[in-house]
Amino acid sequence: MPKMKTKSSAKKRFKMTATGRVLAGQAGKRHGMIKRHKKFIRNARGTTTLCAADEKIVKGYMPYNR
């Protein structure tokens, strides 16, 4: 049986935690910051963990990173 391939886009965008959750960059911070509230910008720093539904999709893209 051949090895499964990891999606290159997924390995660049997501990171797995030790407990198996998926870390991703916070969405909505590329442009248009003038419209955003200060509270949104403050809360959207760093990374965030994905919800269970999205996590399941991403884990399919990275078969060996579990």
pLDDT for position 66 = 73
pLDDT for position 49 = 97
Enumerate residues 6+ apart whose C-beta is below 8 A from 48: 23, 24, 25, 26
pLDDT for position 37 = 96
**CATH, domain 8-61, list 3.40.50.880, 3.30.1240.10, 3.30.1510.10, 4.10.410.60:** 4.10.410.60
Instruction: Provide the whole-model pTM.
Output: 0.83
pLDDT for position 6 = 95
Calpha distance 16→12 (Å, rounded): 12
Cβ-contact 66, 20 below 8 angstroms: yes
Enumerate residues 6+ apart whose C-beta is below 8 A from 10: 58, 61, 62
What digits encode the pLDDT tens for the residues 13-54?
A: 999 999 999 999 999 999 999 999 999 999 999 999 999 999
**Alpha helices for the chain (secondary structure H):** 8-13, 38-43, 52-61
